[in-house]
A and B are shown apart, each in its own frame.
Chain A
Amino acid sequence: MEERVIVSDNDFDIEELKNMIVDDCDGAVVTFTAVVKGENKGKHVSGMEVHSYEGMTEQELSKVRDEALLNFKISEVLIIHRFGELRIGDNILGIVVSSPYRGDAFDACRYCIDRIKEIVPIWKKEKFQSGDRL
């Protein structure tokens, strides 16, 4: 089976990821892409560093995927998270959920992003144009 959880410093194309998991039996595919935003709390952002914990990040993302597959009527989930130096507008996170049911596809996608923010060891540090980092 192709990878369903990816942690990479390479960019991704959400359409290509979608094509990797779409099933002919499914009528709903929900995709989510998080990108680096150019402003946070009124301050202009110039870029972002994303750090992961090699091994544990993949392991925790797999737990999120397993939970989604267990809790929702979905066929497949693919999650990709980038690390490294990113610029404004760059992709950070991609989630693709395929399901026979649109409600479960939306709910599972939302569940994945919420759980990633809770348990997956990834840290983002925004760089501001003022030179500050947060």
Chain B
Amino acid sequence: MSSDITVTVKFFAATRDAVGKPRMIKKIPKGATAYELLTILKEQYPQLDKAADQIIVAVNKENSKGDEPLSDGDEVSLLPPVSGG
């Protein structure tokens, strides 16, 4: 049985510019949290660190502290500070 799960990661504005794509499918170890995923991504894309001082994580379109284990098929979004209005 695989010990990995697959999640979809979405990027917006500055995080999208840093990664160069709007979304990716990522395999991560079972039990990994969104913040562990973010750490993996920052290693892969160092620009992510510079892109936004305060990246907010959303899991399945709900704001998340990022410390809960992710589930297979989750949608994880890396949201830079918002600027609507």
Contact = CB atoms under 8 A, between A and B. Distances in A.
B20 interface: no
Interface residues of B, number: 13
A92 B84 CA distance: 9
A121 B82 CA distance: 5
Interface in A31-47: 34
A124 B82 CA distance: 8
Contact of B84 (A55, A59, A81): A81
A125 B58 contact: no
B83 A56 contact: no
Interface residues of A, number: 21
Contacts of A93: 84-85
Given A53-B58, A56-B58, A117-B82, 11 more contacts: A51-B13, A53-B61, A56-B61, A81-B85, A93-B85, A119-B82, A121-B82, A122-B83, A122-B85, A123-B80, A124-B84
Nearest to B79: A121
Nearest to A126: B83
Interface string B48-85: 00000000001001000000000000000101101111
Contacts of A34: 85
B85 A116 contact: yes
Given A59-B61, A121-B12, A123-B12, A53 B77 contact: yes
Given A113-B85, A123-B80, A51 B12 contact: yes
